Amino acid sequence: MSMDFLAPLVPVIPMLIVTVAACAVLVNEAMRRPNDRLPPFGFGLFALIGLGGAIVASWQLWGGHQVGFGVIVLDNFAVFFNIAICAMGVLTVLVSAGSAERDRLPIGEYYALMLFAVAGMMLMGSTNDLLVIFIALEAMSLAVYVMTGLKRSSLEGAEGAFKYFVLGAFSSAFFVYGIAMIYTVTGSTSLDQLSAVVASQTLNPDLLVIGALVMLIVGFGFKVSAVPFHMWTPDAYQGAPTLVTGFMSTGVKAAAFAAFVRVFLSALEPLGQDYWVPVMAVIAGLTMVLGTVVGVAQTSVKRLLAYSSIAHAGYLLVALVAANSAGKAAILFYVVAYGVTNLGAFGVLAALSTPERPHDEIKDFAGLWHEKPGLSALLTVFLLSLGGFPPTVGFVAKWYVFAAAIQEQYVALAVLGVLTSVISVFFYLRIVVMMYMTDERAPGHRPAVAPMALAGMLIALAVVFYLGILPGRLLEIARESVASIF
């Protein structure tokens, strides 16, 4: 009996594994009686098994180009982002050990929502259809909206979730209008069909295509926190539980840029130099400047890292604007570099925080070196990597981005990126100075770090230094991955 009918399922196997793990967490949560004590890291184990299984399944499918149901594409680009997003999920699960229980989060819901969000993120980078990108975007977003307000006793969390939801729905409307315009012109939502139509209209594109271009920029700009679509970011990051902030600052950005590359550097590439590239260049410059300048004025660490996230979105947009082979690979490399570094930093913040003392203000880190020298050292490395200091991966990632921009004659953007990086060092070093060079010590209890959380931070540390010293292999994989969609 032929097994050809199973062929369309192959590209969705990694997503199915994650979804099944999420369902397993939900079923176990539903069957648990109110007074039952959870085993240590109980639901987290389900999440690790699901994410680990998805990584293995994705790696086994490297080198192929399979299409499922006509809209799911599993090429090297999709495999790269599947593995990157699942790896970010694994790090999030590890650093959640101890902190999630201490923050009194509903554990079953927390891990289930995280896994459903990961499945949506994976779908975003694995489809060649705009309508499926929208479905994946909403599947991811709905889970993250709920996660933002998961701490039900927090008014800040409720406010952040509400703003995120309302503005997210607003941006989704723009995205849908863009898809409708494209369907009007092409009669399809397929990226392949869009690419053919755009290539035939390069010299005189349809006004509806230009309108759709604007709408898609708004939709994607919101998800990556690009200026002027960044308004939700500081409030959502500050209000969400620290673990959730770390997850959505990395996973959401990775998934959004995966779809960004598929749509703009593949289907809409012929319109680049004359239409969307100049717009993106301006947005990238504004994003870097606002994220850095406003970040300097912050006293809340989570808001500081929110504006840092905005600035890093600007650096990624510089690579998108460059759009040469180095720039395309730099996007993938930067996503991994930023994801690992930021999750490590948020892991330290989560390990230090308690319900009574969120450890959110810069002054809360006064004298941390005397009590927690290990965590102080870890946080210092992650902050220096975010600032772009060698020999960390943050330095290498920014180097590739700015080098790609200079190769394509975007010297002004590269110079602006370097200047904003230098300014950003100021607000990262404020925390380092507070930890090491302040005689006073912040009052209050600092909890012990769970072994699994420490393991996650040490893994992040190892990756930060490994990719900072030996980045060649990952960059080669990034080049192979991005080449598979052109």
The structural domains of the chain, with segments of one domain joined by +, span: 9-33+40-483
Backbone torsions φ then ψ of 175, nearest 5 degrees:
-60, -45
The distance between the two most distant Cα atoms of the chain, rounded to a whole number of Å, is 76
pLDDT of the residue at 71: 87
* Tokens of residue 63, six digits: 């080198």
348 φ/ψ sector (left φ>0, alpha ψ -120 to 50, else beta): alpha
The structure tokens 């012109």 sit at 185
pLDDT along the chain (486 residues), means of 10: 65 93 89 66 85 94 80 91 96 90 86 95 92 94 92 85 90 93 91 87 80 93 91 90 91 93 88 86 95 91 92 95 84 95 94 80 86 91 94 95 92 94 91 85 73 94 96 93 84
Query: Phi, psi (5° rounding) for residue 68?
Result: -115, 130
Instruction: Compute and round to an integer the Cα radius of gyration of the chain.
Output: 22
- Tokens 């002027």: give the residue: 228
Work out the angle at residue 158's Cα, subtended by the Cα atoms of residues 220 and 244, and round it to the nearest 5 degrees.
Answer: 60
Report the pLDDT value the prediction gives residue 3, as an integer from 0 to 100: 53
Q: Is 455 exposed, middle or buried (0-12, 13-18, 19+ CB in 10 A)?
A: middle
Q: What is the pLDDT of residue 418?
A: 95
Name the CA dihedral angle for 206, 207, 209, 214, rounded to a multiple of 10 degrees: 160
Residue 172's CB: how many other CB atoms inside 10 A? 17
Containing 74, the helix (H) or strand (E) segment is: strand 72-74
Q: Is the pTM of this model over 0.85?
A: yes
Separation in Å, CA 423 to CA 51, 186, 300, 396: 37, 46, 18, 18
pLDDT of residue 1: 42
